Amino acid sequence: MNYFCTMLDRIEEIKSKAKNFSINSKEQIEEFRLKYLSKKGELNELFDAFKLLAGAEKKEIGRQLNLLKQNIESIYNEAKEKFSSEPKNSTTGIDLSLPVNANKIGSLHPISIVRNEILSIFESIGFVTESGPEIEDDWHNFSALNFPENHPARDMQDTFFVEKEPKGNFALRTHTSSVQVRLMETSKPPIRALMPGRVYRNEAVSSRSNCFFHQVEGLYIDENVNFSDLKQTLYYFVSQFFGERDIRFRPSYFPFTEPSAEMDIYLGTSTEQDYRLTKGTGWLEILGCGMVDPNVLKNCKIDPEKYSGFAFGMGIDRITMLKYGIKDIRQLFENDIRFLEQF
Ligand code: PHE
């Protein structure tokens, strides 16, 4: 009986000591373990003593001892968890508490988005994409395209000439029609191609115009190509890009096409923006076009008696601004990621 009481006292004593054991570091957790849970710890000592008991006493002390053991183990486990520097799910090797990867995936520039859209519409009717140099010689940018020697477009005001010998002969291309020339010189009809790219003009920079911009030009040369092919092709493009809309052709002039036209699409005037864009007429000019001048074909060694063709060209920047309601062209080139990410 005496022994029984001593055992119970001892259990109570250890219980309260373990409860008050101050654990404030990993080292103290280990101290706790050694004192109570190790082979030579106080708990095992009690279990050894317990083995000497018999009968009903053994049962009661055993119950108390097991409760004490659970109690001490839970103090130990809680402390271990609290001071563990390991993340909770360390078994997977992934630390979910770390900040997420801040590397952002880039986004396509709005001009690229619109260019790709235009290209894919024409691709679907058999046009391939071609490219050429941005520094051009006089022949490809002007002469082959039937620009007379004294044409104002060659004027210093419009063209950025490049300091390269022979002087005055090289310039930053003013349109991608130069690629049309290169293509006609090197391939045989039928030619059905699209020429996207950056072009340069010496113009004052403002919210509406820039000294460089982007164009897509198209060229189709084969036997018996006529103006109705041009109209139908462009009509198809408009219906795919802008949806079903009225279009109209106005006579115009380009040295390299005859006849030449400008094409407008009908936006209407019902919104304030459409009214402003169309200057109250409802019509917005979208592109220039025409039948390739026989002189241009001749310059490129294509027989104008046998072949004819049409060409067109449009500014991607303007269409992008129209599509996304961008008011200042300069925003497209400030490379502000917050702006560019929106598209
Ligand atoms: N090259 C013309 C321009 O830059 C556009 C155009 C291309 C017009 C083809 C007619 C035919 O304005």
Whether 288 lines ligand 1, by a CB cut-off of 6 Å, is yes
Q: Is 283 in the pocket of ligand 1 (CB under 6 A)?
A: no
- Which residue's alpha carbon is nearest to atom 6 within ligand 1? 313
What average pLDDT does this structure show over 229-257?
95
Q: Where are the alpha helices (DSSP H) in 162-315?
A: 177-186, 227-241, 272-277, 294-299
Q: Is the CB of 191 under 6 A from ligand 1?
A: no
Residue 262 CA to ligand 1 center (angstroms) comes to 9
In the prediction, which pLDDT does 85 show? 65
> Using CA atoms, how far apart are residues 275 and 280, in angstroms rounded to an integer?
5
In the numeric block, the tokens 């109250």 are attached to: 280
The confidence score (pLDDT) of residue 195 equals: 97
Read off the amino acid at residue 143: S
Whether residue 90 has pLDDT greater than 60: no
Task: Indicate if ligand 1 lies below 6 Å from the C-beta of 177.
Answer: yes
The number of the ligand 1 atom at minimal distance from the alpha carbon of 215 is: 4
For 303-338, the pLDDT digits (tens) are 999 999 999 999 999 999 988 989 889 999 998 888
Best residue among 142, 158, 172, 175 to mutate for probing ligand 1's pocket (most ligand atoms within 8 Å of CB) is 175
What structural domains and CATH numbers belong to the chain?
A: 2-84 (no CATH), 110-340 (3.30.930.10)
Residue 89: what pLDDT? Answer: 57
**pLDDT at residue 239 above 80?**
yes
Phi/psi at 166 (5° precision): -75, 140
Distance 42 CA to ligand 1 centre (A): 96
Return the ligand 1 atom nearest residue 310 CA.
Answer: 11
Query: What separation in Å is there between the alpha carbon of 119 and the centre of ligand 1?
Result: 17
pLDDT digits (tens, 9 = 90+) for 157-216: 688 888 877 666 899 999 999 999 999 999 999 999 999 999 999 888 988 889 999 999
Q: Please, which pLDDT band fits residue 273 given cuts at 50, 70 and 90?
A: confident
Q: At what angle do helices 2-20 and 42-50 cross, to 10 degrees?
A: 160
Give residue-wise pLDDT tens across range 191-201. Answer: 999 999 999 99
Q: Among 36-40, 104-108, 258-262, 302-306, where is mean pLDDT lowest?
A: 104-108
Mean pLDDT is highest, among 52-66, 266-280, 287-301, for 287-301
Query: Using CA atoms, how far apart are residues 170 and 178, in angstroms rounded to an integer?
Result: 12
| CA-proximal residue: ligand 1, atom 7 (nearest) | 313
Atom of ligand 1 nearest to the CA of 289: 10
Question: How many Å separate Cα 290 from the centre of its chain?
Answer: 35
Calculate the average pLDDT of the chain.
90
What pLDDT is stored for residue 106 in this prediction?
Answer: 83
CA of 79 to the centre of ligand 1 (A): 78
